[in-house]
Structure 1
């Protein structure tokens, strides 16, 4: 990506200057990016918020390994609903179309697991404009608002990837921890869509909202699931919580069952009895790099009305610190979204 500061074309962005607290989030005027060959300039209409942005800022990945060191200063923002404004050597029919940007880009093709993430490995959507490869924008035709569409990319892409890899289908019994969070609530909808029986874990205040999503059973975070459900009672565990309860989750799996994770919000260092895994022929799956059909499938689900957005609240982009403070309180169901200032010159 190139920038053109000589013309004085500026945009408002949130620049994360390094690891640390909210003081590392600066509201700045920075050069508007210019698309290179095969790239598009996208005006950001709304940008969803995720654990990833906060984890990156506070340095949570430093000991657990992201791709490389975070390239600070960085414009974060993994989720983007936007409008294609211009491009270089692209299909001109994209210009003027509302799109979602695929957050997880497979830079060496889908035969390689190498990834490039919007807002983590490259400048993202916490700005008025962003530049991405034209291959990573997906036109969406639906009546959802911009903010509603911005809830989709990271959470639903991550959830759909886990569900597909774990082979969830009609008749599967699936346990989802953190079921009220962005990824968890997406997984509830997407697993239900595939005809699975879905059991969730969430704080009791959020149970009614999860039942509205079609969840079959839901338990509080303090529930003893082995007592409630019985050993060997679920086919798949979708877990982004981990922490002290990790070992007990494996006790719930049927012989030949699958545990899949893309996060560890309760703690990444876990303890379990290895015999539980090998004597029960369990499969443990990590899920970060999205498979090729994941994002196109999500767009088709939106356009068919198979899923619905869970927009908890929208904030002006400049209020990112307040929004992140609210986010970490975990009092919401679904996603928070940031809305950049309006722009009159789209190109």
Structure 2
């Protein structure tokens, strides 16, 4: 069996536990699978939280869905080229540039929920090669986006598509996006604007210009009186909130939602426990929606966007695979706008 270079997580811990191995067995595609030579792999909070064992609900250290099997190769965002195919896969796929859907689904239906993710419940893309199901390797050979931009898409933009679809955000609506300078937040800004929505974005003042460049109509400073700023930016109220922060924001901003408004949430970095006056929810027919990543249908829409080049992911920094610890430390400092990518091409 051939070897490859891979970053291996042998146990939970800090960046120092990551091992750059040059003797890691190269995976072999089974029936219905393809072997992808990784060109670029994006970085996400999932990678840090899984490494630390701090993902999800309080309790013992775990990965995205619970305890993970060590050693594990992380990395859910993968762009690359099909290098080999398993049985039952068309040999003509060899050489295709592909974007990998990182989701492991409960069943084969188009709207099946996710039960695992690449890099947590199965080995991922922080390596020279990764194996994935044929159906989850989407051909993007004609995309005008470069490999690093494509690798920025799967988890962040997949999560954003899922949020906007579940909240039915459409043209002409006013949407508040929290955490707008992060990977998912900036994706929400770009994708909501592409739908014809008017976006009010929450970010720090230092990053406001870059968020405006991504298409936001107004940026409000998360360090000030947020409710007053949002009310000024959206005097007629909000149709929807796309929230990746949680925390006290919910109680402060909920009164600004119009009747029949929607609040979709996919993160809790500002606090997982909130106060909620239920009367505000039911007296105005508001909808509170939890959203975990995407469905097959959602990801297919994202692939269409990638093929057409209608969105251009912002790549904040690129690191070689061997510098993954430095890349994760830079990610943790959160001084960037957009995505940090490991380039292997």
Which TM-score band applies after superposition, normalised by the shorter structure? over 0.9
The 3-state SS of whatever aligns with 1:12 is strand
Look up the match of 1:309: 313
Deviation at 1:232, TM superposition (A): 7.3
What aligned pairs does 1:90-105 form with structure 2 within 5 A after superposition?
Answer: 90-105=89-104
Look up the match of 2:48: 54
Higher deviation after alignment, 307-316 or 221-230 = 221-230
* TM-score where L is the length of structure 2: 0.92
- C-alpha distance in 1 between matches for 2:159 and 2:293: 9
The 3-state SS of whatever aligns with 1:99 is strand
Look up the match of 1:335: 339
List runs of 5+ in structure 2 lacking aligned partners: none
Q: Give yes or no for the alignment of 1:45 onto 2:39.
A: yes
What aligned pairs does 1:114-153 form with structure 2 within 5 A after superposition?
Answer: 114-140=114-140, 141-153=142-154
The 3-state SS of whatever aligns with 2:41 is strand
Per-residue CA deviation, residues 247-295 of structure 1 (Å, 9 max, x unaligned), is 1132221121111111112222222222222222211111115223222
The 3-state SS of whatever aligns with 2:279 is helix
Sort the Cα spacing of 1:58 and 1:95 in 2 relative to 1 into closer, same or farther, 3 A: same
List runs of 5+ in structure 1 lacking aligned partners: 1-6, 343-347
Sort the Cα spacing of 1:177 and 1:27 in 2 relative to 1 into closer, same or farther, 3 A: same
Q: 1:84 aligns with which of 82, 85, 102?
A: 82
Query: Are the counterparts in 2 of residues 46 and 147 from structure 1 also a CA contact under 8 Å?
Result: yes
- C-alpha distance in 1 between matches for 2:191 and 2:94: 31
- C-alpha distance in 1 between matches for 2:272 and 2:186: 21
Per-residue CA deviation, residues 124-165 of structure 1 (Å, 9 max, x unaligned), is 000000001101000111232211211111111110110011
Per-residue CA deviation, residues 319-342 of structure 1 (Å, 9 max, x unaligned), is 1111111111111110000123x6
* TM-score where L is the length of structure 1: 0.92
- C-alpha distance in 1 between matches for 2:18 and 2:272: 25
Look up the match of 1:244: 248
- C-alpha distance in 1 between matches for 2:4 and 2:255: 52
Sort the Cα spacing of 1:279 and 1:71 in 2 relative to 1 into closer, same or farther, 3 A: farther
Look up the match of 2:230: 229
Higher deviation after alignment, 222-231 or 322-331 = 222-231
Deviation at 1:68, TM superposition (A): 2.9
- C-alpha distance in 1 between matches for 2:316 and 2:114: 32
- C-alpha distance in 2 between matches for 1:62 and 1:303: 33
Query: Are the counterparts in 2 of residues 226 and 251 from structure 1 also a CA contact under 8 Å?
Result: no
- C-alpha distance in 2 between matches for 1:330 and 1:115: 28
Aligned residue pairs, count: 334
* CA-atom RMSD in angstroms: 1.7
Look up the match of 2:178: 177
